[in-house]
Structure 1
Amino acid sequence: MTGAPRGTRHGASNSRTATYESAEVILNSGSRSMKKEALADLSYDVRIQNLEKRRNRDGKITSFRVCWRINKRLHRRSFPSRSLADAFRSELMGAAKRGEVFRSDTGEPASWDRPKQQITWFTFAEGYAAAKWQQASPNYRRGIAEALIDSTEAFITKDSRPDQERLRAAMRWAFSTKIIDPSAEPDKSIVDAASWLRKNTVGMDVLGDRSTGGKLVRAALVRLSQRKDGTRAAANTTNRKRMVLHNAFDHACESGLLLVNPLTYVKWTRPRSVSAVDPRVVVNSDQAKRFLDAVERHSERGARLKAFFGCMYYAGLRPEEAAALRVTNLATLPDEPNTWGEFHLTHSIPRSGSRWTESGMPRELAPLKHRAVGDTRSVPMHPELARMLRHHLATYGPAPDGHIFIGAHGGAVTDRTYLKIFHEARAAALTPEEAASPLLDVPYSLRHAAVSTWLKATGDPAQVAAWAGHSVLVLLRVYAKCVSGAGSESLQKILDATQS
């Protein structure tokens, strides 16, 4: 092994004899020329070197390269991460230690030279969606499907295709209903469209090829950045869908269908997304009271929703958290003036759509956002909100199942119930100038007002983050701009410090 490159050498001392014997085993029949070709192509003389770090001009590591020699012929293969490179190198080492013969033209063990599985992108996407289904929330299931549908449109191989809406309907069925109930029989046109997609989307081997995969992946990224009508999609939506596609390709690597994630083939600048809340949407206390009074005056149904909106403004609850409130979530509900109460939140009822829930209902009881199953959150109850809740329960009472707020036809409050009242009450409560601005544009703005008020009043990000159900990092990134007045106070402190 003297003179071997850094790394390990595997093989018999007489590699030429070993090569001949191996070739005779592999070629049991065939012409003499075929045997000579095989003899020149196969060898036990394998030298595998250590990993090499590839760096750019700035010295930053961009990839890891595996180098090895077969019968003195050098082979190289680069990977975007050390783990992938280590895995490939370990496979080569394992084959060499087992005494397998290698091909000098490809550098791979001869046992790897077998027909590739002809799996198309859509067939893989069906399996990926099914694999992720059980552990994903209903909203995440819908997000996965949206990203896969848009990506599939970029991976279709034929210009002549069925109607776009029929294809999208087939994909929605394949990524949802088919997973929940494989025995369900959809419309024949949907089945035919799904069958067409399985045959007419690119093969996974094509995506894995750097020369062809890069162009296809770039086309998919362009599609993910657009709405169905071709207009530009929101940056947050684009980035969320790209994350799904990245995860799908990682799953393909884990499954052995791809060696490298094809997204690494292209340089793509992610669109900048705005995570901070626009301060213009945040209402002050006077505007919030005007809005809540307008909700109460709106109608009988509006009066039933005043405390519902009050939970968002005074306690910072998300709409799906307020909708899930039961009497058991009221840890304390004081009746003395100026006395704080407390919520003990356990669940939410987000709207996902019946296609994505296990029950088939548009809403399904779920854990609190960003929290594990069974995790809870305590939130202070403003004295004014305690008064509103006592009035609500005394006037309308809870539902038989304990829900505090009831929809128009029973059950939990839905967005269809409260959105119409919200927008009409907003128009009645705000001045024409305020109504024409982004102020209180959506119900979620009430929560933004609550959290930003807490942050400014307490100056305690850790406590506010716990109440709001955020991490401190997210809280400061999202709400720092909404702490109105802090800038002028800081300027006054600077002025005082610089005056003699």
Structure 2
Amino acid sequence: MTFSKNPASVPEEGPGAGPVQISYNVRIREIKELPPTQRSKGKPRYQLRWTVSGREHSKNFSGKRLAEGHQAKLRTAANEGQPFDVRSGLPLSMLPKAPEPKKKQEPTWYEFAISYSKMKWKTVSPGHRRGIAEGLAATTLALVRREEGGPDASEIHAALSTWAFNVTAHKDGLPAELHKVIRWVEEHSVNMSELEDTDLVRDVLVQLTLKLDGTKASASTYKRKRATFFNALKYAVEKKHLAVNPLLIVSLPAAKSNDSIDRRRVVNEATGRRLLIAAGQQGAMGRHLQAFYGCLFLAGLRPGEAVTLAEDEIDLPEDEEEWGWFHLADSSPEVSGAWTDSGEREIRQLKHRAVAETRPVPISPVLGALLRRHLREFGTAPDGRLFRGEDGGLVSESTTNRIWDSARAEVLTRAETKSVLAERPYDLRHARLSIWLNAGVDPAQISEWAGNSVPVLLRVYIHCLSGSQETALAKLGRKSSPKAEEVDLSDLDQLLIGQDAPEPQPVSCYELAVAYIGAKWDTIGPTTRKGALETITKVTMALLDRPGPWPTDVQLVQALTSWAFRPDRWDAIPDDHAKVIAWVAEHSPNARVLKDPERLGSVLAYLGRRLDGEPASPNVAARRRSVLFNLLEYAVRERHLPVNPLLFRSWRT
């Protein structure tokens, strides 16, 4: 049977590579019995031979009926006009079917959300990573099938936001305490295809409008979490888990959002300066950070920008009455190391800026004076940073907030302290940008200095503009209301800039210890008193110049701990102890010796030992060093020392 001389090609249906070549030119021969020389015991005895488009094919069979059956199938196919595969010699109907590819298992929402968080991790900042994790946690909480006996919503949210969607946390494996919760989420998460149900998606949006306790979340929080949900679904479409982003179909009534700053947070020039003055009076760290707060209030820097401010970013003119310039290059918003690649707080490029891009900001003469004084008194960290934490590293938000709270309590009224007025150091930046706008500075110029776009600047600070209403009413014929008496800022500037730190008042280490314990006595409990007495006794002993065997350590401890540092016993000191105390007062050196790193190091070493010379326990040593730190802070406040010599040393170790 010959229907075509040349084979045609069709896509292959069977196994193997390349297209199937077909032909209708088929010739089927008779069955032959193989000779004994071509077969052995148990081998096929019969052979069927045929050709397809001239190409020989054969197949051996153990029985003749099997060979005849196969021959009949080939003839039937040829008689029916079926095409034959030239390569295998079989009609297409007899070719083995290619196995169907295994259907890819559909991911759950939880599995997909993990993959999405990993995809985003490398391209976003630590703060953004944390925001994505919180948004995915809230969404996942709404996409698990809840049932009685399951984990509490707060447990689920904590496990998801701190581990499941944190790539860094994954490196250490699943913590044992989270194992039960995470496994429950894995088993109860909906599949991705279920998100095609618009009712389910709408329920998720409703859940995102609520906090964990069921109360209403702020509009900005909802918008941020909805954005995370939207972008995750967009990625699901890209990965072909969904045909279309359901949030393009489903929506909730837009939540009323107010991005503008509450004008009640914004302080005026005079109050801002009073707060800066008060901040500088909060101990040695307060004086150290006075210029930090000055950078926020007088130049509008973000706290993260001021934290990393280095000396080479400051351009101060020789004439102190002239304006200088910041050339900001880095920022370090405080985000837990759990969200960084290094596991520590990171220094990054400026917000809304490319790496190595700088931003100019003017430095007023007042701020310039603060910066000059700061550099004279405190110098810089080894890497050139102006501001340091107690351990010498980046200043923490808890430190700046603690000092700021104390400054507010001194300057503001009780009602103002409870209000949002300058509630956070960041509000000082808001105040400066508002003051610039009200002064009539071009918004485009402010935008360049502040690192915001003009639309954001105007939208955020619209309610902080003053005078626009008065101007409009004046145009309508209303008489201008009398202005409040303006405050002369020159006096405040003089207080703020002041003079360099005053010369320390001479006092011996013993006198300093007596004054300190007298100031603390009525404010601490018996247990704290005992620890303070022990520590200042050891500090006093460590600093004594002892030329002879008298007094002994035991006599010193008894006289100082039981009498000299006990205000409640000062009127009844026995003669033998009074002689020891008088000797201590005569031989105690000036407190200025504490500025000597070697002398201070010997004191710290002494605090780390017991009287018998054996090492004290770590907790005891740490408690003693804490008392010493507070003693030195007291010395700074009382102007016996210019700065706390332990301020930038890791005294906890």
Short-chain TM bin: 0.7 to 0.9
Change over 3 Å in CA distance of 1:167–1:439 after alignment to 2: closer
Alignment match, 1:197:
185
Of structures 1 and 2, the larger Rg is shown by 2
Code of the residue aligned with 1:355 in structure 2: it is A
The within-5 A match list for 1:481-496 is 481-495=463-477
Structure 2 residue corresponding to 1:227, chosen from 211, 214, 218: 211
- Map of 2:587 onto structure 1: none
Where in structure 2 are there 5+ consecutive unaligned residues? 1-10, 15-99, 480-653
Letter in 2 for 1:229: D
Name the CA distance, whole Å, in 2 between partners of 1:496 and 1:422.
42
Q: Distance in 1 between matches of 2:244 and 2:102?
A: 19
Q: Which residue is 1:86 aligned to?
A: none
Letter in 1 for 2:336: G
1:252 aligns with 2:236: yes
- The whole-number CA distance in structure 1 between the counterparts of 2:297 and 2:171 is 47
How far off is 1:491 after superposition? Answer: 3.0
1:168 and 2:157 matched? yes
Deviations 1:261-286 (A, max 9, x none): 12234231231111111222111111
* Alignment correspondent of 2:370: 388
Matched, 1:292 2:276: yes
Aligned partner of 2:194 in structure 1 is 206
Tell me how far 1:335 sits from its aligned partner: 4.7
Aligned partner of 1:469 in structure 2 is 451
Superposition deviation, residue 311 in structure 1? 0.3
- 1:346 partner letter: A
CA shift digits 1:369-412 (9 cap, x unpaired): 12222221100011100000100110111111111011122111
* Alignment match, 1:140: 128
Change in CA separation of 1:269 and 1:301 when aligned onto 2, cut-off 3 Å:
same
- Which one-letter code corresponds to 1:270 in the other structure? A
Question: In the TM superposition, what whole-angstrom CA distance separates every residue of 1:181-213 from its partner, at most 9, and x where no partner exists?
Answer: 7552332342443333223210011112xxxx2
Whole-angstrom distance in 2 between the partners of 1:375 and 1:365: 14
The answer to whether the 8 A contact 1:311-1:317 is kept is yes
Change (3 A) 1:378 1:267: same
- 1:155 equivalent in structure 2: 143
Change (3 A) 1:288 1:374: same
Q: Give the 3 Å change call, closer, same or farther, for CA 439–172 of structure 1 in structure 2.
A: closer
| Residues 50-105 of structure 1 deviation map (CA, whole Å, 9 limit, x = unaligned) | xxxxxxxxxxxxxxxxxxxxxxxxxxxxxxxxxxxxxxxxxxxxxxxxxxxxxxxx
Residue type of the partner of 2:428? L
SS in 2 for 1:380: strand
Partner of 1:412, secondary structure, is: coil
Distance 1:437 1:172, change over 3 A: closer
> 8 Å contact 1:176–1:356 — kept in the other structure?
no
Structure 1, gaps ≥5 residues long: 1-21, 27-111
Secondary structure of the residue that 1:459 maps to in structure 2?
Answer: coil
Q: Distance in 2 between matches of 1:473 and 1:187?
A: 45
1:282 aligns with 2:266: yes
| TM, length-normalised to structure 1 | 0.72
**1:111-169 superposed Cα distances (whole Å, 9 cap, x missing partner):** x9985632110000010000111101101111110011111111112414234454334
Secondary structure (helix, strand or coil) at the match of 1:185 reads coil
For 1:60, the equivalent position in structure 2 comes to none
Change in Cα spacing, 1:202 to 1:353, as seen in structure 2 (3 Å) is same
Task: Work out whether 1:358 is the aligned partner of 2:346.
Answer: no
**Is the contact between residue 137 and residue 161 of structure 2 (CA under 8 Å) also seen in structure 1?**
yes
Q: Is the 8 A contact 1:166 1:189 kept in 2?
A: no
Corresponding residue for residue 217 of structure 1: 201
* Contact map agreement 2:317 2:323 (CA 8 A) in 1: yes
1:480 corresponding residue in structure 2: 462
Report the Cα distance in structure 2 between the residues aligned to 1:198 and 1:131, rounded to whole angstroms.
20
Secondary structure of residue in 2 paired with 1:127: helix
Where 2:477 maps in the other structure, the secondary structure is helix
Q: 1:150 touches 1:224 (CA, 8 Å); kept in 2?
A: yes
2:639 matched residue in structure 1: none
CA contact (8 A) 2:114 2:164 kept: yes
Question: Once structures 1 and 2 are overlaid, which stretch shifts more, 433-442 or 219-228?
Answer: 433-442
2:356 and 2:154 mapped to 1: Cα distance? 40
C-alpha displacement at 1:305, in angstroms? 1.1
More deviation, 134-143/291-300: 291-300
Structure-1 residue corresponding to 2:612: none
Cα contact 2:296–2:429 (8 A) shared by 1: yes
Tell me the matched-pair count.
384
Normalising by structure 2, what TM-score?
0.56
Return the alpha-carbon distance in structure 2 between the equivalents of residues 240 and 470 of structure 1: 19
CA RMSD of aligned residues (A): 2.6
CA–CA distance in structure 2, aligned partners of residues 446 and 427 of structure 1: 16
Residue number in structure 2 paired with 1:348: 331
Q: Name 2:45's counterpart in structure 1.
A: none
Equivalent residues in 2 for 1:69-468, closer than 5 Å: 115=103, 117-160=105-148, 161-177=150-166, 179-180=167-168, 183-208=171-196, 213-330=197-314, 332-361=315-344, 363-468=345-450
Partner Cα separation in structure 1 for residue 289 and residue 172 of structure 2: 40
